[in-house]
Amino acid sequence: MFYLLIYDVAENYIERRAPFREAHLLLAREYAEQGLLVLGGALADPVDAAVLVFETDTIDPIEAFVARDPYVQQGLIRSHRIRLWNVAIDSR
């Protein structure tokens, strides 16, 4: 199953994320290497949200990701939501 983790980012997110970016990306790479995180990145114009795509049977790993994410811990994320994504086409 696919899930979307949607982050609503704080004001000045781009400027404020620099000190925490490497730790955030390290966490993301860890989940990608486990096959859990498929895609992720910030939306552009405006940068007001980020979306991460997870492939997992439960939301537990996603909730663990959020709890460990430096961006969340440092207040760069105003809110988040996890949504089941019913994928109709997967060309992989």
Q: Encode pLDDT of 1-58 as tens digits.
A: 999 999 999 999 999 999 999 999 999 999 999 999 999 999 999 999 999 999 999 9
For helices 18-33 and 60-68, the axis angle rounded to 10 degrees is 160
Pair 62, 54: CB distance under 8 Å: yes
In this model, does residue 74 exceed pLDDT 90? yes
Tell me, which fold does domain 2-85 have in CATH?
Answer: Alpha-Beta Plaits (3.30.70)
Looking at residue 89, its pLDDT comes to: 93
Looking at residue 92, its pLDDT comes to: 84
Separation of alpha carbons 4 and 22, rounded Å: 22
